[in-house]
Structure 1
Amino acid sequence: MKQINSLEQINSLIDTREPVLVYFSGENCSVCKALKPKIEKEVLKNFPKFELREIKVDLYKEIASSFSVFSIPTIVIFFDSKEFKRYGRNISVSCFIDEIKRPYKLFTE
């Protein structure tokens, strides 16, 4: 995942209308570090059109607060420049993938 370091950067990416996954994590978050490669692998395998980005909330608190992210890890999915779904803390990778399949297909075909 590419790192985001400014609010303008993430907003311009969301405005492209492409599917975007934003992964909010922290430097000292063991759950974040364990979950990230699993999410990344499954999303790249199942949803190749997604733009994957990561925001380290301990470094960029203003970005996290502008997206109302107050716990980590948090995943925010955007379709057509709008927030579609938000996942936080206890995330099942298989359930996550299953929930995204139908809207991904609708927005990308």
Structure 2
Amino acid sequence: MWSAAIHLHKLIVIQFAEFQNQLQHTELALVYCSTPTCNVCKVLRPKVELMVSEIGDWEFIYIDTTQNPEIAGQYLIFSVPTLLLFAQGKEVQRFNRHFGLDDLKLELERYQKLTRSAK
């Protein structure tokens, strides 16, 4: 079964296994899980994308959970927006529904520093 994910405004077609493989080969990834009908998600997404691009080092991956139920199920995503932070292929942090952008920024910067110091 094929599923679609949008990666920095580019549509890529992936399977669940390919999604996992992509995470394994990306040092830092923010996975933004949403649905087309989530109005909060529509407002929040550009702000998160801008933050990720300003901080650098993070790869932004958009997942439409209605088109990717296997990914949503495997990662236990029951509400949107849900943001998953991955460092070296492992989920290290999760934000869902109600969270502050300042808190998100602090965590992005913290994991960025940790991975840089580990090199």
TM-score by length of 1: 0.90
Question: What are the Cα deviations for residues 36-94 of structure 1, in whole angstroms up to 9, with x where unaligned?
Answer: 00001011101x11111011011111110011111100000000111110000012111
Match of 1:52 among 44, 55, 60: 60
1:34-49 to 2 correspondences below 5 Å? 34-46=43-55, 48-49=56-57
1:68 aligns with 2:68: no
Separation of aligned partners in 1, 2:110 and 2:80: 26
AA matched with 2:101: V
SS at match of 1:84: strand
Dislocated runs of 4+, deviation >2 Å: 3-6
Report the equivalent of 1:92: 100
Q: Provide the C-alpha distance between the structure 1 equivalents of 2:29 and 2:100, rounded to a whole number of angstroms.
A: 19
Mapped partners of 2:31, 2:18: distance in 1:
12
Q: Could you list the runs of 5+ residues in structure 2 that have no partner in the other structure? A: 1-5
User: C-alpha root-mean-square deviation of aligned residues, in Å?
Assistant: 1.5
Count of residue pairs brought into register by the alignment? 108
Separation in 1, partners of 2:43, 2:87? 26
Indicate yes or no: 2:109 matched with 1:101: yes
Corresponding position of 2:86: 78
**Contact 2:31-2:83 within 8 A present in 1 as well:** yes
Percent identity reads 31
Amino acid at match of 2:29: V
Shift of 1:99: 2.3
Using structure 2 for the length normalisation, give the TM-score: 0.83
Greater RCO (Cα-Cα under 8 Å, separation 6 or more)? 1
Whether the 8 Å contact between 2:28 and 2:85 is mirrored in structure 1 is: yes
Corresponding residue SS for 2:79: coil
The answer for unaligned runs of 5 or more in structure 1 is: none
